[in-house]
Amino acid sequence: MVTPEDRATVGTDPSAARDARAWAGAGLGRSRLASFEHALAGMRQIPGVRGRSPRLGQQRATPIGFESHRHEEPKAVGLRHSIVLAVRRGGSMRATARRYRVSLRTVQRWFHRCRGQRLDRVDLRDRPSGPVSPPSRTKLATERNILKIRSWLKNRSPLGEHGAAAIHREMTTRGLAPPCVRTIGRVLKRRGALDGRRRLRYPAPPKGWYLPGAQQGSVEVDCCDFIEDLRIRRGALLDAFTVISQHGCLVDAWPTNRVTVAFVQNRLAERWRRHGLPGYVQFDNDTVFQGNHKPGCVGSVIRTALRYGVVPVFAPAMEQGFQNSIERFNGSFRRSVWERFHHRSINELQERTLAFVEAHQRAHALTLERSTRRPMPDQPCAAATRVIFIRRTDSQGRAEIFQHRLLVSVRWCNRLVRAEADLVNRTVSFYQLRRAAPSQQPLLAVRTLPVLFYEHPH
């Protein structure tokens, strides 16, 4: 007989109340009855159900294909609970299979899954197919041998190498039939036996991030370099002076017998008269660009750039990233021009270089159109008075500017700075540079140059 308490707990369905009382008699508390009612309500809406059942309410659960999809898994779990509960209440497996319109094997499967356990503690969800452990998994004994050999190689071997390749060689020497090197590496990673940490790669800062205005692309930067020791067969060594703009990919290349100061001055003036003036021109620290190593000396190439109103910039030595664009173009020039053809003379090399430059500009025509407009040198332009040095301070916080070692800050050691040398006032302003924060460049210090051989052209 159904009591009013059962009706209040699971609703007005007599069959649902009887099932709920059976759950309570099987050892479940009253807190589980509401969840059982939810499962029964879901069973009445299973797709593919046919017929009527006095035990489940208005519809009998007859699924088309018992193994449910992921979105139908809660309904299937409720059906499996009902099947197991029916057998535990004394019904035979065959009668339960006919009642729920499933196979006898299905009833046996879920009943044996729940044997010796409470229904609220049994996981009746679908399990993944296949074996628990894949047959291709490395054996436990092999993994232990790998770890033992690594420890021996690290602590006792004469060579001291204890990586995956060294472990593979040692296992081969001992006749242990080792797995491949990649598998040994995965075993070491899974067992936490790797000494080094994975390198963290941060996103690169924008182009020209270290120069005012160039980071936003409003000012163009011409990067200059030269390729040395290009030997023509049975001929002398040749050099090639190369230039590329950072934002517009405007390139030029001039092979010559030797890159000199006068050659660089003439080629830059020719380029700027033809394409317009950039805001900055960037060099490395070669004496051709910077001048001799006399303290306070301002080279001829620097003076030429200042006369055109272009600010010279000198990239730091032994630093990555600042000369990437010109180094990439130099590699492309070597592959596409120098290594592809057999050049019998310098004139033939110059012709192929000119064709390569024209083809490069056609390929990057859209980038050139979107780049910043370059003013022509025939327009009135005041001479520049700044020279910028990108430097890394030493362990004492000092940087070398025009062969003078100036103190930047004792709190900014072994860090990047931008040094703006004012040639008129003979002062140097140092600004902080950090790739992680390219837009934050506060002023660190202002120093005075002891000696400077320069007169501003009025």
The Cα–Cα gap between 418 and 244 comes to 22
The Cα–Cα gap between 106 and 121 comes to 20
User: Please, what are the averages of pLDDT over each run of 10 residues along the chain (458 residues)?
Assistant: 40 44 44 46 43 40 42 79 92 94 93 90 85 84 94 87 92 93 93 78 87 88 93 84 93 93 95 93 93 87 93 92 92 89 89 92 88 80 88 94 93 95 93 92 94 70
- For 280-317, letters b (16+ CB in 10 Å) and e give bbbbbebebbbbeeeeebbbebbbbbbebbbbbbbbbe
Token digits of residue 296: 């306070």
Same domain, 89 and 165: no
Is residue 104, in this structure, part of any structural domain at all?
Answer: yes
Same domain, 158 and 268: no
Same domain, 170 and 241: no
According to DSSP, residue 426 is labeled: T
Same domain, 230 and 340: yes
**What region, left, alpha or beta, does residue 63 occupy, with left being phi > 0 and alpha being psi -120 to 50 degrees?**
beta
> Apex CA 32: angle with CA 27 and CA 33, to 5°?
100
Closest CA to 113 of 123, 128, 102, 105: 123
The Cα–Cα gap between 324 and 408 comes to 27
Is residue 195, in this structure, part of any structural domain at all?
Answer: no
Is residue 203, in this structure, part of any structural domain at all?
Answer: no
Same domain, 284 and 417: yes
Which stretches of 26-175 are DSSP H helices?
A: 33-43, 73-88, 93-100, 104-113, 140-155, 164-174
Q: Which residues contact 149 (CB under 8 A, 6 or more apart)?
A: 167, 170, 171, 174
Same domain, 174 and 261: no
CATH number at residue 427: 3.30.420.10
Neighbour tally for 253: CB within 10 Å: 22
- Both ends of the chain: CA-CA distance in Å? 113
Residue with tokens 């303290």: 295
How many domains does the chain divide into? 3
Same domain, 265 and 324: yes
pTM of the predicted structure, to 2 decimals: 0.59
Q: What are the phi and psi torsion angles at 240 (to 5°)? A: -140, 120
Three-state DSSP at 417 gives strand
Same domain, 91 and 174: no
User: Packing angle between helix 346-363 and helix 324-333, nearest 10 degrees?
Assistant: 120
**What region, left, alpha or beta, does residue 309 occupy, with left being phi > 0 and alpha being psi -120 to 50 degrees?**
left
The Cα–Cα gap between 240 and 246 comes to 19
Q: What local confidence, expressed as pLDDT, does residue 17 receive?
A: 47
Same domain, 250 and 165: no
Closest CA to 374 of 253, 262, 242, 281: 281
| Amino acid, single-letter form, for residue 279 | G
Q: What local confidence, expressed as pLDDT, does residue 288 receive?
A: 93
Residue 83 belongs to domain spanning: 4-121
C-alpha 193: how far from chain center: 24
Strands 237-245 and 221-231: antiparallel
